[in-house]
Structure formats: C-alpha cells, structure tokens
Structure 1
C-alpha cells in the first residue's frame, strides 16, 4: 500500500487533536474532505484506525501504530527536503527560534539535538522571549518560528499550530505538605514558603499577572534563573514551587499536584513567521522536530 504524505500528516493531526475537525483545521481542509481521506486510509489498510465517539475520536491499536510511524516518516521526509534545499540556501542565514522559559527547559533542547544532527548545513539561533515579543518579531520577519502561549497569541494574524500542553503544577518534597493531595488552589499554595524563578522570568510574570491582586503575597525563600535548579530546590524541601508539568523529570521523586485555577491550564502553540522561500523548507523541518519532541516527552502523574 502506498501512503500519501498529506494523509499521514492529517492522521497525525487528528490523533493529536482528538477529533477529525481539529485535524482538518490544522490542514486547512473541510470536514467532509478530511473524513473522506480517513475513510480511504481505513479502506486501503483494511482495518479501523479510529474509534469515533460523541466527544471526538481516539486511535485503535492499528491507528496508534500508524500515527507513530507517520511521525517518523514525516520527519524523514522533511529531512530529505531540507537536505536538498540546503544546497540553494545561503549557509550564513540561520533560522531563528523563539520561546518562553518553559519551552526552553526540555522541549527546545530535545528538538534541537535531533534537528541539528539531521541537518548539518542548517544553523539555528535560539532566544528566550515572552509571547507578546515573540509574536511581534515573527510578524516583523525577525524570526521563523516561535513557541507561544495560546491565550496570549489568539487573533495575532500568524499561522498557529497546536503544539502541546504547558499546564502548571505545584511540586514539593515527597511526603511533605502535598502528600495525598491531587489538586490545590494557588491561594493555598501561596500560604506556604515558596521557591521560584527570578522576577523577570516569563513564568514568574505569568503567575503574578493571572493570580490577581486578591491572592496572598507569597514568601519566596529564594529565586533562581533555571527551572532545573528550581525543581531540585523543591524536591529537597526548601519550599513549594509552581512549574510547568513538562519541566519535571518523571523519574524524580516528587509530590506533584494539579493547580485548580483555570489560568494554570495552558497550551503551547507553534507560531510561524513571514520567512523567505529559501528558509521555508528548513523551517518546516524544524517544526516537525518540535512536534516530534512533544510526543516523545514522558508523562508526569499527579498525586
């Protein structure tokens, strides 16, 4: 059986979104067209790939296998295109990738490792940037890609693709004040001694902006510039910490609680800038590696 790359890309988006409608939107297809493509895939495969329900779809075991291999095929296809395009692309023009501190902690490094190994002729400039600044730079053509937060980037006029969860959780020493808890409000968290990032960090600004004026004023025992150091301090019992879930090593012994506040549920989007044609193929390849890095991240459980 021959697989069409656009069909594989569509199926990957459907699985990521949990709905055919969401996958169709990411591919800029109508719902009937996307549904027809999925039915054609299932017909040629000779097996059901999706379980359809009232709240969306989920992959069957065969669909899970297809989605996994599809991501690998798409990444290799992007590598092929980028390798050929690199011969006509000026070697002195690196791609620019922007993102907040949360993305820079684990997601971006993992994507860069695989991308730079696969694309020895393409350089990447990486810089930490808060969502408003990232959107502006992308619109001005100063960067090719940016990882932004959903509620700060809506209606910005740029192409936005869902990237992954960036929800905030509370962490503390195993067996400490969070023991036996699965969720807690920020107001309660702020009544305990905390450790946090420095005042100029994007995460610290996000928390202070959304917690509101009525939240208790937290006592920070210390502030640091690195998320990894922050997690280590919390694990050692110095204080509680509010961090993105993706910043936590799932193998580390920690008590992890959901934050009950609605503002703690965040989503990362991949925003595309206005780039020249010479950089378009390499940009698409970097985007594929970012998506692949999201799916490769292990899950962290609360409680």
Structure 2
C-alpha cells in the first residue's frame, strides 16, 4: 500500500482543523479536490477515516491511528530533505523568524528548543519585531515566518493561521488589591501604581495605541525590558502589571484578573513570508514546531 505525502498532509490538516473545507484551504486546494483525495485515501486504506457531521469532521479510530503515523512519516521526510539540502544550502542562509515580545517570552523559545534539537543542520535567525514591522518584512520576502498580533495584521495579503489566544490580563501580588476581583477596565487598573515594560517595547506601545489619546495618566513605579522581571515585580507587590495571560506560569502565586476592555482580547497568528512557489521544507517544519509549542 502506497500513501501520497500530500494526501497525508491534507488528512492531518483536516483532522487538526476539524473541517475538510479548512484543511483544503491550508493546502490551497478546492473543496471538491480535497474531498476526492480523502475518499481515495479511505478507499486505499479500506476503512472509513473520518466521521462526517453537520459541524465538521472527526477521525475514526483508524483515522486517529493514521494521523499519528502520518505525523511521524512527514517529520522523518522533512528531516531527510533537510539533511540532503544541507549539502547545497549556503550556511549563511538561515531561516528568519520574527515575533513580538509576547511570542518571544515562551512560545518562540519553546519551539526553537525542539526544532533546533530535531534539525541540527538548519540554523534559525530570530529577531524581536513589532507586528507592523514584521508584516512589512514578510511582505518584502525578507523573512520566512513571523508571529504577529491579529488586529495589526489584517488585510496585509499574507498567508496566516491562528496560533492561540494572547489576551491581556492584569496581575498583582497574591492576596493583594486584586483579591476578589474578576475583571477590571484599564482605567480602573491605572488608578493604582503599575510596573511596566520599557516605552519602546512592542506590548507597551500596543497598549498605548489602543487606549488612545484620552488614556488615564499612569504612574509606573519602574519599567523593565523583560516580561519575566515584570511578572516577578508584580508578584512581589511592587505594583500591578498588564501582561499576556499566556506569559504567566500557572504555578506562580499571583492574583490574575481579566482586563475587560474589548481591545484586550487578541490572538497570535503565524504569518508566512511572501514567496514564489512552495515553502522550504525546513520552514514548514519550524511552523509545525510553533504550532505544537502554542498548544503546550
């Protein structure tokens, strides 16, 4: 029995999206073409692989088994292609990955650890960049991948997919002034002393852009360059802080309160650089590691 690698990629995309339509979109296929490929795959396997319903699809037990082995096969294929390509690829041409401060806190480092360990022949150049600059660089074809914030990346014409929630919350010392509160507006937060990121940081500039010119005057007791330091200061009771929820260690003793302003609800997107033809296999592999890291 022979399986087509593109059919396996399509099947994995469908399983991950829970929809044949969404899976087809990720593979740049029409819905009829994707449906025909799935039927052919089921015919070849001799068993149903998907349970189809009005709200989408889910894998059968056989489909779950196929998906698990397909991931292993495709990962091995990328390693093979990468190993062979290393003999022709210039050592001065690493993959280029851009991301904002929120992505650089946990998501990108986690993905890099697993990717660089699995692909010793591939180098990655990583730079912190605000979403508007990241989008411009990707549009110019000067980067392979970027992790961007959804509301600043709309309408740019790049291929993008959602990585995960990146909503903002307010944090403070456990048992402190946030105790018993479930949600606050930014104006209410600004009534208290804060600790924040440096004025040039992507997150600080993003918040100030969205609160607008009539934002309340904020007293920052101090500003720092690193989210880890910022969270430690808030945990110590120095002041409240506005941070992405995904940046918080669940085991850390903190009071966490929703930020109820509509602009605090945001998502991280994975954006692909403009290119002619298919993405390099190594870029596809790095994208998969970013997806896996976002689900941890």
The TM-score, its normalising length taken from structure 1, stands at 0.83
Return structure 1 stretches of 4+ with deviation > 6 angstroms.
Answer: 39-43, 58-66, 276-279
Equivalent pair of 1:169/1:257 in contact (CA under 8 Å): yes
The 2-side partners of 1:26 and 1:87 are apart by 30
Q: Which moved more, 1:98-107 or 1:259-268?
A: 259-268
After superposition, residues 178-189 of structure 1 pair within 5 angstroms as 178-189=178-189
The equivalent residue for 1:167 is 167
Deviations, residues 253-299 of structure 1 (Å, cap 9, x unaligned): 2222222222112122222224588982222222222122112x2xx
The TM-score, its normalising length taken from structure 2, stands at 0.84
Deviations, residues 94-124 of structure 1 (Å, cap 9, x unaligned): 2211111111111111111112122222221
Calculate the aligned-residue CA RMSD, in Å. 3.1
The equivalent residue for 1:217 is 217
Equivalent pair of 1:89/1:278 in contact (CA under 8 Å): no
Q: Which moved more, 1:218-227 or 1:9-18?
A: 9-18
Q: Note closer, same or farther for the CA distance 1:41–1:148 as it changes in structure 2 (3 Å cut).
A: same
The 2-side partners of 1:243 and 1:65 are apart by 39
After superposition, residues 12-27 of structure 1 pair within 5 angstroms as 12-14=12-14, 16-17=16-17, 19-27=19-27
Q: Note closer, same or farther for the CA distance 1:64–1:265 as it changes in structure 2 (3 Å cut).
A: farther
The 2-side partners of 1:60 and 1:6 are apart by 20
Equivalent pair of 2:48/2:60 in contact (CA under 8 Å): no
Deviations, residues 187-229 of structure 1 (Å, cap 9, x unaligned): 2222222111010000000001112233322221111100111
Q: Which moved more, 1:224-233 or 1:39-48?
A: 39-48
Q: Note closer, same or farther for the CA distance 1:24–1:279 as it changes in structure 2 (3 Å cut).
A: closer
Q: Note closer, same or farther for the CA distance 1:107–1:70 as it changes in structure 2 (3 Å cut).
A: farther
Unaligned runs of 5+ in 2: none
After superposition, residues 1-303 of structure 1 pair within 5 angstroms as 4-14=4-14, 16-17=16-17, 19-35=19-35, 44=45, 52=53, 54=55, 71=71, 73-274=73-274, 280-295=280-295, 297=296
Deviations, residues 139-188 of structure 1 (Å, cap 9, x unaligned): 22322211112221222122223222222122222222322333332222
Q: Which moved more, 1:32-41 or 1:116-125?
A: 32-41
The 2-side partners of 1:105 and 1:241 are apart by 16
Equivalent pair of 1:51/1:60 in contact (CA under 8 Å): no
Q: For 1:271, what is the secondary structure of its paired residue?
A: strand
The 2-side partners of 1:39 and 1:225 are apart by 53
Q: Note closer, same or farther for the CA distance 1:38–1:276 as it changes in structure 2 (3 Å cut).
A: closer
Q: Which moved more, 1:79-88 or 1:232-241?
A: 79-88
The 2-side partners of 1:278 and 1:14 are apart by 19
Equivalent pair of 1:99/1:134 in contact (CA under 8 Å): yes
The 1-side partners of 2:204 and 2:97 are apart by 22
Give the CA deviation at 1:12. Answer: 4.2
Deviations, residues 65-115 of structure 1 (Å, cap 9, x unaligned): 766665555444322322222222112222211111111111111111112
